[in-house]
Structure 1
Amino acid sequence: MRIKIRKELLEYLLELARGFHPNEFAGFLRENNGVFEEVLIVPKGYFGRNSVFFDPWLLPPDESIKGTVHSHPIPNAEPSKADLGFFSKFGGVHVIIAFPYTEEDVKAYGSDGKELEVEVV
């Protein structure tokens, strides 16, 4: 399976990851006509070196949210056990951006943890 992400959004996500380093950041991805185009940063989140905590009740009811994104401040974009647990509860697409936060460091996964192809449009 393949996901599509707008180039401008991907560039912004890479900048966010660099700006939050050495901590992780997290957000929710909005999709429009099959393309991820916007990010909502986790409201009132705790952005730590190894994890992000947030209250999901603070998210707006928004049916265009079809995925999540977060960074790993290490050079490994593979999902952790905690990531896989979150993926299975939230569903959708999950993007991980690993250090040093280049386009080559971006991976996407389905809710089952299987890697998805990323197409930049």
Structure 2
Amino acid sequence: METVKIRRELLGYLLELAREFYPNEFAGFLREKAGVFEEVLIAPDPHFGRSSAFFNTWMLPYDESIKGTVHSHPGPNPWPSQADLNFFSKFGGVHLIIAYPFTEDSVRAYKSDGSRLKVEILD
């Protein structure tokens, strides 16, 4: 299984965002440096609801360091929905889903086709 690498500090921040927005979803874009996810970008004017998150990707700046997405699921299911898979196929890259209860163990990573990736947390 392929691996995606993320800084512990960023993952902690993403878990905190998921808790803060609960019971709504939140979503963002992941910036990568030297093969490691290190920052999150929240798109302007997002809508974070109980069953979906929406943002206008046209509002994003041109940024070649954006290599993935992240969003939360307010329930315990960490698997991508059909809507998630449709988005994954359009955006590309790596996609993190953080499921309730928003712990390191409830984070899953997927490729654009929905296949799983291993998550490696770096200090």
Same-fold status (TM-score > 0.5): yes
Give the corresponding residue for 2:32.
31
Query: Which runs of 5 or more residues in structure 1 are unaligned?
Result: none
Partners of 2:29 and 2:55 lie apart in 1 by 12
Q: Distance in 2 between matches of 1:5 and 1:64?
A: 14
Counting only pairs closer than 5 Å after superposition, residues 14-93 of structure 1 correspond to structure 2 as 14-93=15-94
- Give, in whole Å, the separation in 2 of the partners of 1:89 and 1:55: 13
Matched residues in 2 for 1:41 and 1:88: separation?
20
CA deviation map 1:18-75 (0-9, x unaligned): 0000000000000000000000012201100000111111001000000000000000
Query: Secondary structure, in 3 states, of the residue corresponding to 2:77?
Result: coil
Report % sequence identity.
70
Which residue in 1 is equivalent to 2:100? 99
Q: What TM-score results when the alignment is normalised by the length of structure 2?
A: 0.97
How well do the aligned residues superpose, as a CA RMSD in angstroms?
A: 0.5
Report the TM-score when normalising by structure 1.
0.99
Query: Alignment length, in residue pairs?
Result: 121
In structure 2, what is the equivalent of residue 115 of structure 1?
A: 116
Distance 1:76 1:43 in 2: 27
CA-to-aligned-CA distance 1:51-100 (integer Å, 9 cap, x gap): 01111110010000000000000001100000000000100000000000
